């Protein structure tokens, strides 16, 4: 693995002192994060560490209790509807399950953003849909409905749809989860190509270490709502932080407890 | 006593909040139907609207006809039971005609719609919320109100008066069946009496009600769908809520309309 430096100094996503609370329980506690144009940033951490919440807050699906997120210099929560929509056209999300529109065929799913947000001819849209589907290797599946294709295929169609409007930033929520190793590898390669060839910024939330180290330019690790480590894959691999070491090596014993219950086991049994 | 009052106050507030939510959703939907398209914010999805009209109107037609035909029969029998003792069985025609047009057809069509389409709309939108499809719409700058609510509410607004009108005919025919075949009222006389009894305003008020009920069913169904939390179980709960609340809303609305028409029309 060769060292890759961050590609530019332009900050495209700026997370500043972000706090998110659910029913009084803090999920994110002061996240500080900058993402630079063209880089692939991997956000990793165990289940429940807040990485999905971080992603959802960045894209505007959750409201922070404190702090702010700026995407391409603008805050989704402050913009008016028009501004928000303009901004939303410049980034895309690959959801964990693909989130395809189940009432539309694969082709219509990919065509939808083009139909709704551009004035392109139907004929051109048809060609573009084929191109986007070819990127994920599913050109022949246009006419099928989401219910007729496998979970992995849904995800790939979801990626084709995310690419439809040529976004500047793509967020990936667990891109490899539930995929076989070959397809997961294809998606990893696609993420790297998009960044390397087109300068797309990628923010990848994952807990699959193999893929994370393969694609990342920079990694951050979350633990209990805090950023506990940040650096290039080399730096992370060489980290002496016991939290990081335990996580990347998948060791059952270490500072990260397996048991999440607060009450003492014996007391709980005898209560 | 104090807690009782507090509970009462809280449920009143909840109720008002809910009605407010419905009103907001409807106004938002109306905006996207009327002003939005002209401000270049996004067109109305015509294909989807037609699809929903087909779903609401055409596919529910069989069950609507069946129900309303039998209700026509029941109504005629019940009226005949009372009228026979007064020796004016022939009035079955007048009463069935008026009751069907003003009340039974709009009400029953709305009830059938609630179970047939309202539940389906809630389940569909709820599932979309759970599977992140609605979030995917929002994050791709597609307004879920324009995308999901407008076609459904608009379809209900466009199709309900027609379904109700046809249902009225079928219901009156059910009454005619009893009156003519079983009670021996001459066909010509029955039809003549029905037409005589019906005023223009009976038809108009019936259709006005149908329109209002259609909006209620569609808006409540969408609203409940968007409120879904917590997976498949949440979808089930929302679907039940949608049907129950629609029925209550329809009855309350019906009562208010009827009282209004009684005094002012």
What value of ipTM does the predicted structure carry? 0.83
Cβ-based burial of A171 (10 A; exposed 0-12, middle 13-18, buried ≥19): buried
Nearest to B140 among A88, A96, A97 (CB): A88
Nearest to A117 among B124, B138, B141 (CB): B141
Q: Give the gap in angstroms from C-alpha B21 to the nearest C-alpha of chain A.
A: 19
* Chain A interface test: which of B136, B138, B144, B152 (most A C-beta within 10 Å): B136
Q: What is the pLDDT of residue B78?
A: 92
* Chain A interface test: which of B35, B39, B133, B231 (most A C-beta within 10 Å): B133
Mean pLDDT of A191-214: 88
* Chain B interface test: which of A57, A99, A102 (most B C-beta within 10 Å): A99
Q: What is the pLDDT of residue A146?
A: 92
Q: How confident is the model at residue A7 (pLDDT cuts 50, 70, 90)?
A: low
For residue A82, pLDDT over 90 is answered with no
Q: Which two tokens stand for residue A184?
A: 């997961």
Q: Give the gap in angstroms from C-alpha B51 to the nearest C-alpha of chain A.
A: 11
CA of B62: how far to CAs of B68, B76, B112, B123, B190, in Å?
A: 10, 21, 11, 22, 26
Q: State how far the Cα of B97 lies from the Cα of B196, in Å rounded to an integer.
A: 10
How would DSSP label each residue in chain B?
Answer: -HHHHHHHHHHHHHHHHHHHHHHHHHHHHHHHHHTGGGGTS----HHHHHHHHIIIIITTHHHHHHHHHHHHHHHHHHHHHHHHHHT-GGGHHHHHHHHIIIIIHHHHHHHHHIIIIIHHHHHHHHHHHHTTHHHHHHHTT--HIIIIIHHHHHHHHHHHHHHHHHHHHHHHHHHHIIIIIIS---HHHHHHHHHHH--HHHHHHHHHHHHHHHHHHHHHHHHHHHT--SHHHHHHHHHHHHHHHHHHHHHHHHHHHHHHHHHH-
**Secondary structure (3-state) at A271:** coil
For residue B225, pLDDT over 80 is answered with yes
Name the pairing type of β-strands A169-173 and A201-206. parallel
Long-range contacts of A127-133 (CB under 8 A, 24+ apart): A128/A164, A129/A164, A132/A160, A132/A161, A132/A163, A132/A164, A133/A106, A133/A107, A133/A157, A133/A160
Q: Give the gap in angstroms from C-alpha B227 to the nearest C-alpha of chain A.
A: 15
Q: Give the gap in angstroms from C-alpha A80 to the nearest C-alpha of chain B.
A: 12
More reliable by pLDDT, B41 or A209: A209
- Span B13-67, pLDDT tens digits: 989 999 999 999 999 899 988 888 888 777 888 888 999 999 888 888 899 999 9
Q: Give the gap in angstroms from C-alpha A85 to the nearest C-alpha of chain B.
A: 5
Cβ pair B138, B144 in contact under 8 A:
yes
Q: State how far the Cα of B203 lies from the Cα of A57, in Å rounded to an integer.
A: 53
- B121 CB neighbours in chain A (<8 A) are none
Q: Give the gap in angstroms from C-alpha B145 to the nearest C-alpha of chain A.
A: 13
Within a 10 A sphere around the Cβ of A163, how many other Cβ atoms?
24
Question: Which among A57, A70, A65, A50 has a CA at the least distance from the CA of A207?
Answer: A50
Nearest to A99 among B132, B141, B142 (CB): B132
Q: Which residue of A has its CA nearest to B146?
A: A116
H or E stretch at A28: strand A25-36
CA of A111: how far to CAs of A190, A196, B218, B241, in Å?
A: 20, 25, 28, 35
Q: What is the pLDDT of residue A161?
A: 92
Which DSSP letter does residue A27 get? E
For residue B68, pLDDT over 90 is answered with yes
Q: What is the pLDDT of residue B128?
A: 93
- A53 CB neighbours in chain B (<8 A) are none
- Span B111-139, pLDDT tens digits: 999 999 999 999 999 999 998 899 999 98
Q: What is the pLDDT of residue B247?
A: 96
Q: What is the pLDDT of residue A3?
A: 43
The answer to whether the CB atoms of B132 and A60 lie below 8 A apart is no
Mean pLDDT of A203-230: 89
Query: Which distant-in-sequence residues (6+ apart) come within 8 Å of B111 by Cβ?
Result: B247, B250
pTM equals: 0.86
Share of chain A above pLDDT 70, in %: 96
- B142 CB neighbours in chain A (<8 A) are 112-113, 116
Q: State how far the Cα of A178 lies from the Cα of A171, in Å rounded to an integer.
A: 17
The answer to whether the CB atoms of B42 and A112 lie below 8 A apart is no
Q: Give the gap in angstroms from C-alpha A269 to the nearest C-alpha of chain B.
A: 30
* Chain A interface test: which of B123, B126, B139, B230 (most A C-beta within 10 Å): B139
The answer to whether the CB atoms of B140 and A100 lie below 8 A apart is no
For residue B223, pLDDT over 60 is answered with yes
Q: Which residue of A has its CA nearest to B44?
A: A116
Q: What is the pLDDT of residue B236?
A: 93
Mean pLDDT of A158-186: 88
Q: How confident is the model at residue A201 (pLDDT cuts 50, 70, 90)?
A: very high
User: Measured at the alpha carbon of residue B213, what is the angle toward residues B211 and B215, in degrees to the nearest 5?
Assistant: 70
Handedness of CA B48, A154, A36, A249 (dihedral sign): positive
Burial string for B53-85 (b: 16+ CB within 10 Å, else e) reads bebbbeebbeebbebbbebbbebbbebbeebee
Q: How confident is the model at residue A1 (pLDDT cuts 50, 70, 90)?
A: very low
B131 close to A (CB below 8 A)? yes
- Span A99-111, pLDDT tens digits: 899 889 999 999 9
Q: What is the pLDDT of residue B184?
A: 85
The answer to whether the CB atoms of B136 and A60 lie below 8 A apart is no
Mean pLDDT of A239-247: 84
């Amino acid at each position: 693995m060769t060292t890759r430096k961050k590609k530019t100094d332009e900050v495209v996503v700026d997370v500043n002192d972000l706090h998110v609370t659910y029913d009084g329980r803090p999920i994110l506690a002061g996240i500080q994060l900058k993402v630079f144009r063209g880089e692939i940033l991997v956000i990793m951490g165990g289940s429940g560490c807040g990485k999905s919440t971080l992603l959802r807050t960045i894209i505007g699906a959750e409201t922070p209790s404190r702090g702010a997120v700026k995407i391409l210099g603008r805050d989704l929560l402050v913009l008016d509807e028009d501004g928000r929509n303009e901004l939303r056209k410049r980034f895309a999300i690959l959801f964990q399950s693909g989130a395809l529109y189940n009432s539309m065929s694969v082709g219509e799913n990919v065509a939808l953003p083009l139909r709704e947000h551009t004035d392109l001819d139907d004929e051109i849209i048809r060609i573009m849909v084929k191109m986007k589907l070819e990127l994920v290797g599913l050109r022949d599946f246009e006419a099928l409905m989401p219910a007729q294709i496998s979970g992995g295929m849904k995800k790939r169609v979801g990626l084709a749809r995310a690419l439809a409007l040529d976004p500047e930033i793509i967020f990936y929520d667990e891109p490899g989860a539930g995929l076989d190793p070959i397809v997961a590898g294809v998606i990893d390669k696609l993420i790297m190509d998009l960044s390397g060839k087109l300068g797309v910024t990628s923010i990848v939330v994952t807990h699959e270490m193999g893929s994370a180290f393969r694609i990342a330019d920079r990694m951050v690790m979350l633990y209990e709502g805090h950023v506990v480590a940040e650096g290039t894959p080399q730096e992370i691999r060489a980290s002496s932080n016991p939290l990081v070491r335990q996580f990347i090596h998948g060791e059952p014993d270490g500072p990260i407890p397996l048991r999440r219950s607060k009450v003492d086991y014996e007391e709980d049994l005898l209560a | 006593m104090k807690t009782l009052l507090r509970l009462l106050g809280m449920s009143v507030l909840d109720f008002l909040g809910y009605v407010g939510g419905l009103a907001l959703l409807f106004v938002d939907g109306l905006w996207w139907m009327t002003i939005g398209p002209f401000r270049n914010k996004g067109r109305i999805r015509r294909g989807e609207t037609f699809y929903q009209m087909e779903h609401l109107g055409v596919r529910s037609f069989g069950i609507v006809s069946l129900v309303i035909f039998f209700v026509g029969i029941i109504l005629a029998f019940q009226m005949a039971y009372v009228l026979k003792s007064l020796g004016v069985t022939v009035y079955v025609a007048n009463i069935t005609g008026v009751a069907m047009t003003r009340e039974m057809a709009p009400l029953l069509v709305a009830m059938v719609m609630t179970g047939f389409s309202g539940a389906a709309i809630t389940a569909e939108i709820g599932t979309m919320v759970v599977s992140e499809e609605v979030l995917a719409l929002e994050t791709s700058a597609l307004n879920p109100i324009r995308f999901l609510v407008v076609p459904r509410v608009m379809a209900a607004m466009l199709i309900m008066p027609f379904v109700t009108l046809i249902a009225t005919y079928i219901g009156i025919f059910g009454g005619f069946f009893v009156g003519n075949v079983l009670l021996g009222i001459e066909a010509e006389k029955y039809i003549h009496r029905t037409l005589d009894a019906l005023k223009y305003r009976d038809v108009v008020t019936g259709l006005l009600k149908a329109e209002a009920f259609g909006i209620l069913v569609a808006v409540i169904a969408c609203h409940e769908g968007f409120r879904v939390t917590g997976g498949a179980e949440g979808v089930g709960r929302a679907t039940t809520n949608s049907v129950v609340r629609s029925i209550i809303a329809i009855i309350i609305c019906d009562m208010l309309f009827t009282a209004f028409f009684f005094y002012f029309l």
